[in-house]
Structure 1
Amino acid sequence: MKKNLKYIDLFSGAGGFSLGFDNLGFQNVFSVDIEPNFCKTYKHNFADHQLIEKDICEVSNAEIEYLKEDNDIDVIIGGPPCQGFSMAGNIGRKFIDDPRNRLFKEFVRVVKVVKPKFFVMENVARLYTYNKGTIREEIINDFEKLGYTVDCKILNSADYGVPQVRNRVIFIGSIKKQDIQFPPAEVETYISVKEALSVYPKLASGEESSKVPNHIAMSHSEQMLTKMSYVTDGGDRNEIPEHIRPKSGDIRKYIKYASDKPSVCVTGDMRKIFHYDQNRALTVRELAKLQSFPDDFVFKGTRISQQQQVGNSVPPKMAEAIARTIIKMSDKV
């Protein structure tokens, strides 16, 4: 890289996106997030970053200009929550005008104020095809109005050495007219759950490891442990005897990870998906490993919040692959 490229991280969460860009030599100018526990984790792991703990809607244009100082920003990254799928397009209301998608609108606002050379926006894969692709086109159009060349693609985290199949739509924009590039697959063979997790000390329900941060097993009821004891490696609820088989709630989650495959998509609540050979749910540390966080990345706050932080994160290794692509395109700007 010819110089330290500078970035802003919006909706930074625990910092998966930031970590990937830091690992590729990018320099953080500032980050923004509102969740107190998420911010505790971010501050702990990125002590030299400037984190603005505040609702992005309350960060004025003048404050954004002040925070970026005289820095030319190379890239803005972030994954604004977008929840208004069901309403958008169905009653004549545009996606960006749906009040539930105000955070997407804020991402666009910051890009407009800062005018970075590039932006990278991450979101759930279904946004790509929802409403016959009209939302995707609307998002692209909103950025094109600001003068950006924009494209998007669904990427699978497993292609970048993350032991998890996690499909996400990635929008990349360039202020210059150039072909938008996306990272090619970096591995030929996916990393399995067993490859990722077998390095950790074994734990029973309720136990914890003093040697590995965040490696604390959830305490399960005897009823749950009995049910899950019938489920084999990669198996599901159908292996539980019918008279005690769960019949309500989220019954899809009574499964065990398949040890020989990458993980299913990690979300904020993985309490009913059990370890492939230890009769318990995964610890925060193990979930973080499936997201490709290093073991020295420590999560703060309540255990439930830690799980949410992990589940909401962009996998750092996937972020690194995206950062590499930004570097390549930057050389051509």
Structure 2
Amino acid sequence: MRKNFVSSATFSTDKIRKILLDKIEEEQEKIPIDANDIELNEQVISKKGKANVVSLFSGAGGLDLGLELSGIDVNVGKNYTNSILEDKEMFFENRDKSIFNIIYSNDNFKEANVTYSKMFPKSIVKNSKDIRKISSFPECQIMVGGFPCPGFSAAGPRLIDDPRNFLYIHFIRALVETQPQFFIAENVKGLLTLAKGEVFKQLVEDFASAGYDVQAKLVNSKDYGVPQLRERVILVGTNIKKVSEKYNWKFEFPAGEYGNGKKKPITLREAIGDLPADPDDVFEGSFSSIYMSRNRKKSWDEQSFTIQASGRQAPMWPGGSPMEKVGKDEWKFTGKINRRLSVREISRIQTFPDWFEFEGGNSKTHSGYLAKKYKQIGNAVPVRLAREILYPIAQFFQDHPEELY
């Protein structure tokens, strides 16, 4: 049964904080102290002179890679970062130049964890348990993560009492325990309108009650050099005692250099025009009536529709003839060339480097194998978006080395 949503608009700051802490304590009491969690935390290798990072709901690591890149940018410049990013071996040899050092990662998506372990340093401690069962977290200077969004998505269920919506409480539980200088969280646009905006308001108040100045913004990835129309809510929290009050510092979102007509956004032609027209990593299957209810094919000179976490829902490759509208909420394919975007193409559109490889698991079917890859890529934060948005935090640590570990 759907529960009524109770707005916190009439609550005082102290009452909101008490409700939050009581909820966290309630959740913590459900979790027995796990010796394995303690052992994993003891294995963490924090590095001196670095901002050490804990990554929750890490998935394949789009947000994490973007963070790493911003940390290299601030130390040696974007041109150098771009040059080493083109080659996997060169990047692996140079990634220690980043001011950020990822020490711990958590997700319970098996294939994404395999991808992450292959694409990131072996020194990162990987905890693959459900976050609701993790009893403790390691100390860090920055915590990142995109808590799951199915219950918030406009395309999916919108029940206020969907337990997936409250996984963010466990993100806050980790913040309350470790009190890093910063946190970064990401979620879908639908979060803003759930319960007429009351859920988003409460979520921000909850994060603030954990001791953070919270800045939130709806951003479009295309404004930051991503060849995709992808709107997402980014929340950046600054620890009030450790940063805001101590340095009179406030996070400001960078203006995307491709937004407001500053630069022409990156097109599909620029992003994937050089890739084979007939790849073997394309999800094949029927197209539902919902899929065919609107246009799914952009032209080469536009940006992609949002890359979703499903091969079946992947946008169409821009080659061939455009789709044609034949009725209300009804479109059809025209011409002979009509296929979904491939795994490699959506990876490019999400701005992962070409050497980044996604694990497909042990599915008995080719489509099942590819589906795991589509899901990881579609769930990820575009690498370039994370790189651009998080640069001011890298700059803060560069300017205040006393805050590094």
Same fold (TM over 0.5): yes
SS at match of 2:207: helix
Aligned-residue sequence identity (percent) comes to: 34
2:394 is aligned to 327
Which runs of no fewer than 5 residues in structure 1 stay unpaired? 209-215, 225-245
Once the two structures are superposed, the pairs formed by residues 1-333 of structure 1 within 5 Å of their partners are 3-23=49-69, 24=71, 25=98, 26-48=100-122, 49-61=124-136, 64-65=137-138, 68=139, 73-85=140-152, 86-88=158-160, 99-176=163-240, 177=244, 178-187=249-258, 188-203=263-278, 207-208=279-280, 216-219=281-284, 248-252=289-293, 255-271=296-312, 273-277=315-319, 279=337, 280-301=339-360, 302-330=369-397, 331=399
How far does residue 219 in structure 1 lie from its aligned partner after superposition?
A: 4.5
SS at match of 1:60: coil
State the distance in 2 between where 1:87 and 1:305 align. Answer: 26
Q: Which amino acid letter does the alignment assign opposite residue 166 of structure 1?
A: R
Check whether the contact 1:29–1:50 (CA below 8 A) recurs between aligned residues. Answer: yes
Check whether the contact 1:82–1:103 (CA below 8 A) recurs between aligned residues. Answer: no
State the distance in 2 between where 1:17 and 1:324 align. Answer: 12
Task: Give the direction of change, closer, same or farther, for the CA distance of 1:268–1:83 in structure 2 (3 Å limit).
Answer: closer
How far does residue 323 in structure 1 lie from its aligned partner after superposition?
A: 2.0
Q: TM-score scaled to structure 1, two decimals?
A: 0.78
Task: Give the direction of change, closer, same or farther, for the CA distance of 1:252–1:83 in structure 2 (3 Å limit).
Answer: same
Q: Which amino acid letter does the alignment assign opposite residue 325 of structure 1?
A: P
Check whether the contact 1:10–1:79 (CA below 8 A) recurs between aligned residues. Answer: yes
Check whether the contact 2:215–2:237 (CA below 8 A) recurs between aligned residues. Answer: yes
Q: Which amino acid letter does the alignment assign opposite residue 257 of structure 2?
A: E
State the distance in 1 between where 2:206 and 2:316 align. Answer: 42
Task: Give the direction of change, closer, same or farther, for the CA distance of 1:40–1:118 in structure 2 (3 Å limit).
Answer: same
State the distance in 1 between where 2:65 and 2:304 align. Answer: 21
Check whether the contact 2:284–2:312 (CA below 8 A) recurs between aligned residues. Answer: no
Task: Give the direction of change, closer, same or farther, for the CA distance of 1:84–1:200 in structure 2 (3 Å limit).
Answer: closer
RMSD over aligned Cα atoms = 2.3
State the distance in 2 between where 1:116 and 1:31 align. Answer: 15
SS at match of 1:256: coil
How far does residue 265 in structure 1 lie from its aligned partner after superposition?
A: 0.6
State the distance in 2 between where 1:167 and 1:219 align. Answer: 27
State the distance in 2 between where 1:281 and 1:84 align. Answer: 26
Q: Which amino acid letter does the alignment assign opposite residue 294 of structure 1?
A: P
Task: Give the direction of change, closer, same or farther, for the CA distance of 1:122–1:220 in structure 2 (3 Å limit).
Answer: closer
Which consecutive segments of 4 or more residues in structure 1 shift more than 4 A? Answer: none
Q: Which amino acid letter does the alignment assign opposite residue 59 of structure 1?
A: I
SS at match of 1:308: helix
SS at match of 2:390: helix
State the distance in 2 between where 1:285 and 1:253 align. Answer: 24
Residue-by-residue CA offset, 1:279-305 (whole Å, 9 max, x unaligned): 221110000111001100001112101
How far does residue 132 in structure 1 lie from its aligned partner after superposition?
A: 3.1
How far does residue 329 in structure 1 lie from its aligned partner after superposition?
A: 4.0
Residue-by-residue CA offset, 1:299-319 (whole Å, 9 max, x unaligned): 111210100001000001011
Check whether the contact 2:311–2:371 (CA below 8 A) recurs between aligned residues. Answer: no
State the distance in 2 between where 1:262 and 1:309 align. Answer: 21
Which runs of no fewer than 5 residues in structure 2 stay unpaired? 1-47, 72-97, 153-157, 321-336, 361-368
1:231 is aligned to none
Check whether the contact 2:217–2:235 (CA below 8 A) recurs between aligned residues. Answer: yes
Residue-by-residue CA offset, 1:72-127 (whole Å, 9 max, x unaligned): x2211111014445333xxxx7xxxx533231111111111111100011000121
State the distance in 1 between where 2:345 and 2:239 align. Answer: 39
